[in-house]
């Protein structure tokens, strides 16, 4: 670049910094200076900051966009008073459930912070284990969509039917693998920046441990409370977290091959203590400056980024009516009850609790909501309601121990074919109609159903303990059931 161009760009970056700082409160400006000090110390001093590369994971959520804004403010602040500043890698994992709204948020945040074309910034995304330049307009690949679908089913079926509904644990495995690989990509990074609260960090690590058990990767005996032990845990899992499910099958490897560091040097820099103030105080920065647009109620309602609240509630409803013998409405009410407890524990503004009650607590809209949820599950996850119900029963693991119960509850006409179903899962040839029925009902090829057949279900405690809810939330169940 020419000197004139450099000067022009530096002027632009100064303007971005000044506008960004104008949205910060006094407390945020103080936190920013503390974060800069933490980064400089981690780099080994200001004279080494130019060779220091940090990584931020960007998912399009309010928290990730805000964290990126803080990091950019730190990067530009250092650049304004030192010969060099740290390098920044921003990485996004593409999942089937990643909405176009989330991608638009990422793009608008990148544009507002002038990250595009800044040589100090890398913008990357991962689709089906392939590392690519970030492109918010590119749809997820068909291979990536199919891989996510199979991962969800294989991990989700690794449970006893009466166990907790941790059906999205594939997300923890996929994300953990993503952290480990993107940190080693193309000369690697020095530090991961994490702004998650201690509770969020613990939830992720617990989910990763549980998912590793389901994937037959062994028990992870780490007692660290936060992400300081994350990379040691990831290293213990190896480089392919789904290897036990797909042994002998063709599936994607991490690529482009040959550009991953053999030895990772990444550490974790925790900045959750520097995220100050309440969400309402950050709202002008997020909306006016970064251009973030979000369904606020859905963002507060969900306790997992791997599944939408609509689909999570739908699964609770299905479990209640097909597994527990209650009604779909009872399951929705139980989901809402848990969600309200979680939202109030996080001190979410009461108006969002009221919105959740209005959205999920209207008996008259229950039929339409169920149809909408089923349609969303089909479009985003590639799963029919029949396949979701099969997933709830988990009938294939442990030598098909739950198969008879599943058939009696949902497909009594197939009881006569039970011997053939067992034969097929054992790898023997059976009638084509039987094989096709297995595929249609489960969403899995028969060979992978056979893999599940040979695996033992993982019994884990419910990872999200919910205290007894206040009486007004408990009344939701009575109100909904009375509506039908």
Q: What is the pLDDT of residue 64?
A: 93
- Whether residue 302 sits in one domain with residue 166: no
Write out pLDDT tens, residues 186-213. Answer: 999 999 999 998 988 998 998 999 999 9
Give the tokens for residue 92: 């996004």
- Whether residue 474 sits in one domain with residue 433: no
Q: What is the pLDDT of residue 385?
A: 96
Rounded Cα–Cα distance for residues 77 and 71 (Å): 10
Q: What is the pLDDT of residue 361?
A: 67
Rounded Cα–Cα distance for residues 363 and 323 (Å): 21
Q: What is the mean pLDDT of the chain?
A: 87
| 8 Å CB contact between 267 and 18 | no
| 8 Å CB contact between 52 and 84 | no
Last residue of a domain, one of 289, 313, 329: 289
SS in 3 state form for 389-437? HHHHHCCCHHHHCCHHHHHHHHCHHHHHHHHHHHHHHCCCCCCHHHHHH
Q: Judge whether 206 lies within some domain.
A: yes
Write out pLDDT tens, residues 38-60. Answer: 999 999 999 999 999 999 999 99
Q: Judge whether 390 lies within some domain.
A: no
Pairing of strands 121-127, 130-133: antiparallel
Rounded Cα–Cα distance for residues 248 and 447 (Å): 10
Rounded Cα–Cα distance for residues 240 and 217 (Å): 10
How far, rounded to the nearest angstrom, does the alpha carbon of residue 111 sit from its chain's CA centroid? 24
- Whether residue 352 sits in one domain with residue 448: no
How many Cα neighbours within 13 Å face the side chain of 163? 22
Rounded Cα–Cα distance for residues 393 and 384 (Å): 15
Q: Judge whether 81 lies within some domain.
A: yes
Count how many domains the chain has: 3
- In the predicted model, is pLDDT for residue 478 greater than 70? no
Last residue of a domain, one of 289, 314, 338: 289
Rounded Cα–Cα distance for residues 40 and 52 (Å): 9
Q: Which residues of 440-454 are buried (b: 16+ CB within 10 A; e: fewer)?
A: ebbbbebebbbbbbe
For the chain, report the end-to-end CA distance as a whole number of angstroms: 69
- Whether residue 216 sits in one domain with residue 81: yes
Once rounded to an integer, what is the mean pLDDT over residues 226-252? Answer: 90
pLDDT band at residue 484, thresholds of 50, 70 and 90? very low
Helix (H, G, I), strand (E, B), or coil: what is residue 119? coil
Helix (H, G, I), strand (E, B), or coil: what is residue 4? helix
Q: Judge whether 118 lies within some domain.
A: yes
Pairing of strands 53-57, 87-93: parallel
pLDDT band at residue 301, thresholds of 50, 70 and 90? low
Rounded Cα–Cα distance for residues 253 and 241 (Å): 11
- Whether residue 202 sits in one domain with residue 230: yes
- Whether residue 85 sits in one domain with residue 36: yes
- In the predicted model, is pLDDT for residue 463 greater than 70? no
Q: Judge whether 463 lies within some domain.
A: no
Q: Judge whether 461 lies within some domain.
A: no
- Whether residue 188 sits in one domain with residue 274: yes
- Whether residue 16 sits in one domain with residue 160: yes
Last residue of a domain, one of 289, 320, 355: 289
- Token pair 């939408």 is found at 308
Which of 82-96, 218-232, 250-264 comes out lowest in average pLDDT? 218-232
Q: Judge whether 345 lies within some domain.
A: yes
- Whether residue 430 sits in one domain with residue 361: no
- Whether residue 122 sits in one domain with residue 21: yes
Rounded Cα–Cα distance for residues 167 and 144 (Å): 19
Q: Which residues of 336-358 are buried (b: 16+ CB within 10 A; e: fewer)?
A: bbbbbbbbeeeebeeebbebbbe
Beta bridge partners of 56: 90
- Whether residue 316 sits in one domain with residue 430: no
Rg (CA), the chain: 24
User: Within a 10 A sphere around the Cβ of 229, how many other Cβ atoms?
Assistant: 15
SS3 content of the chain, % helix, strand, coil (to 5): 60, 5, 35
Write out pLDDT tens, residues 160-196. Answer: 877 777 888 999 999 999 999 999 999 999 999 999 9
- Whether residue 425 sits in one domain with residue 320: no
Q: Judge whether 119 lies within some domain.
A: yes
State yes or no: cis peptide before 256, omega within 30 of 0: yes
Structural domain that includes position 175: 3-289
């Amino acid at each position: 670049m020419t000197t004139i161009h450099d000067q022009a760009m530096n002027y632009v970056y100064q303007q971005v910094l000044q506008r960004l700082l104008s949205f910060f409160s006094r407390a945020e400006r103080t936190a920013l200076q503390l974060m800069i000090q933490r980064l400089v110390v981690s780099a080994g001093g200001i004279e080494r900051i130019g060779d220091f590369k940090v990584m931020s994971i960007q998912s399009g959520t309010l928290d990730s966009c805000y964290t990126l804004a803080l990091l950019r403010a730190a990067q530009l602040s250092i650049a304004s008073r030192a010969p060099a500043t740290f390098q920044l890698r921003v990485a996004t994992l593409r999942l089937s459930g990643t909405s176009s709204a989330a991608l638009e948020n990422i793009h608008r945040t990148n544009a507002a912070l002038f990250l595009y074309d800044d040589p100090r910034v890398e913008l990357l995304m991962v689709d089906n284990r392939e590392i690519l330049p970030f492109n918010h307009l590119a749809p997820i690949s068909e291979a990536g969509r199919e891989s996510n679908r199979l991962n969800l089913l294989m991990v989700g079926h690794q449970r006893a039917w009466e166990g907790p509904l941790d059906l999205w644990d594939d997300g923890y495995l996929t994300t953990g693998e993503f952290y480990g690989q993107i940190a080693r990509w193309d000369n690697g990074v020095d530090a991961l920046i994490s702004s998650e609260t201690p509770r969020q960090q613990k939830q992720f690590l617990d989910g990763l441990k549980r998912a590793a058990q389901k994937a037959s990767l062994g028990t992870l005996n780490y007692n660290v409370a936060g992400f300081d032990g994350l990379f040691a845990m990831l290293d213990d899992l190896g480089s392919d977290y789904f290897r036990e499910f797909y042994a002998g099958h063709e599936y994607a490897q991490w690529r482009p091959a040959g550009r991953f560091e053999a030895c990772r040097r990444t550490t974790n820099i925790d900045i959750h203590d520097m995220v100050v103030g309440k969400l309402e105080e950050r709202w002008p920065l997020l909306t006016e400056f970064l251009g973030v647009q979000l369904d606020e109620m859905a963002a507060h309602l969900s306790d997992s980024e791997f599944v939408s609240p609509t689909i999570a509630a739908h699964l609770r409803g299905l479990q209640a009516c097909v597994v527990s013998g209650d009604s779909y409405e009872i399951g929705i009410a139980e989901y809402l009850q848990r969600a309200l407890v979680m939202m109030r524990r996080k001190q979410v503004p009461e108006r969002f609790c009221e919105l959740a009650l209005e959205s999920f607590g209207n008996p008259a809209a229950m039929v339409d909501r169920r149809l909408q949820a089923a349609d969303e599950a089909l479009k985003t996850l590639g799963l029919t309601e029949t396949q979701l119900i099969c997933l709830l029963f988990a009938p294939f693991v442990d030598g098909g121990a739950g198969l008879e119960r599943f058939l009696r509850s949902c497909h009594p006409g197939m009881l006569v074919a039970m011997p053939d179903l067992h034969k097929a899962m054992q790898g023997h040839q059976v009638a084509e109609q039987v094989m096709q029925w297995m595929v249609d009902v489960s969403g899995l090829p028969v060979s992978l159903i056979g893999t599940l057949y040979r695996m033992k279900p993982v019994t884990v405690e419910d990872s999200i303990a919910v205290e007894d809810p206040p009486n007004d939330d408990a009344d939701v169940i009575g109100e909904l059931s009375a509506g039908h």
